[in-house]
């Protein structure tokens, strides 16, 4: 790995690690995570601030070589905000071409139209308590496939009510699966479960498995 790498096929990488998928439809599956450096947002609840800066430049060959060691089936490209680096789109294509089942975790503020259709997109809609609600790119909703997912990270009842209104306004459950997830330490998972059931919402609730297992430890 070298900052002197020449050519276009490279990305700034914060970490590559092997763990159980902690959320989304593939929760619980052994997965290799590629965390790209950088994010234009500053969500209040962000737990990956260490990925805002730093990292190392890696060529695509180096990235593919490092993940091959784990013989994975599932790969998740995450951040930071992975789409903030233009070459992310090319990496996603390479990963699909290599035969991996690939998902992309994105904040929902950048255009997703050019993401390879073989990739499952897990896209946030930023809630009021994130402090970044104004940056949501609602045009992205029209780009989502049935196999993609929209995720709301909820910090309290006000976020829940807002998410419920977006569910109606954009008919989100018709586009794809919708995930509701509580911010750990801010919103009780039990309360969220009770609200979803009381309102009979067509959403899937999730609790981050990796935090239950390993807390906030990085790279897990």
By CB under 6 A, residue 218 contacts ligand SF4? no
Using the contact rule CB under 6 A, the part of the chain among 78-86, 114-122, 143-151, 166-174 near ligand SF4 is 78-86
By CB under 6 A, residue 48 contacts ligand SF4? yes
User: Alpha-carbon distance 167 to 179, whole Å?
Assistant: 11
The distance of closest approach from Cβ of residue 84 to ligand SF4 in the complex, given in angstroms and rounded to an integer, is: 9
By CB under 6 A, residue 41 contacts ligand SF4? yes
Which of residues 39 and 119 has its CB atom nearest to ligand SF4 in the complex?
A: 39
Which residues ranging from 93 to 112 are in contact with ligand SF4 (CB under 6 A)? 107
Closest CA to 27 of 190, 179, 216, 209: 209
Tokens of 74: 């599932």
Q: Which residues of 42-59 are buried (b: 16+ CB within 10 A; e: fewer)?
A: ebeebeeebbbeebbebb
Which of residues 43 and 150 has its CB atom nearest to ligand SF4 in the complex?
A: 43
Give the H/E segment covering residue 164.
helix 157-169
Using the contact rule CB under 6 A, the part of the chain among 12-20, 65-73, 75-83, 170-178 near ligand SF4 is 75-83
User: Alpha-carbon distance 70 to 85, whole Å?
Assistant: 25
The distance of closest approach from Cβ of residue 80 to ligand SF4 in the complex, given in angstroms and rounded to an integer, is: 5
Phi, psi dihedral angles at 99 (to 5 degrees): 95, 5
Which of residues 134 and 146 has its CB atom nearest to ligand SF4 in the complex?
A: 134
By CB under 6 A, residue 79 contacts ligand SF4? yes
Residue 180 DSSP label: E
Which residues ranging from 20 to 39 are in contact with ligand SF4 (CB under 6 A)? 39
Contacts of 22 (CB under 8 A, 6+ apart): 208, 209, 210, 211
By CB under 6 A, residue 182 contacts ligand SF4? no
Using the contact rule CB under 6 A, the part of the chain among 43-51, 168-176, 190-198, 203-211 near ligand SF4 is 43-51
Beta strand pairing status for 177-182 and 204-205? parallel
Under the rule (CB under 6 A), what is the footprint of ligand SF4? 39, 41-43, 46, 48, 79-81, 107
């Amino acid at each position: 790995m070298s900052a002197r790498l020449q050519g276009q096929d490279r990305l700034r990488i914060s970490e590559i690690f092997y763990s159980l998928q902690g959320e989304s439809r593939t929760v619980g599956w052994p997965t290799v995570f590629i965390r790209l450096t950088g994010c234009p947002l500053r969500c209040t609840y962000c737990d990956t601030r260490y990925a805002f800066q730093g990292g190392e430049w890696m060529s695509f060959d180096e990235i593919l070589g490092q993940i091959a060691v784990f013989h994975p089936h599932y790969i998740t490209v995450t951040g930071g905000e992975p789409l903030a680096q233009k070459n992310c789109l090319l990496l996603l294509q390479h990963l699909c071409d290599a035969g991996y089942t690939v998902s992309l975790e994105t904040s929902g503020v950048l255009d997703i139209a050019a993401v390879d259709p073989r990739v499952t997109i897990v896209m946030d809609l930023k809630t009021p308590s994130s402090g970044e609600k104004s940056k949501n790119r609602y045009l992205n909703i029209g780009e989502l496939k049935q196999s993609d997912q929209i995720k709301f990270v909820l910090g309290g009842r006000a976020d829940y009510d807002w998410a419920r209104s977006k569910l109606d306004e954009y008919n989100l459950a018709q586009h794809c699966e919708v995930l509701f997830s509580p911010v750990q330490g801010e919103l009780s998972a039990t309360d969220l479960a009770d609200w979803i059931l009381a309102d009979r919402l067509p959403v899937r609730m999730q609790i981050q498995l990796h935090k239950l297992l390993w807390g906030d430890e990085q790279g897990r």
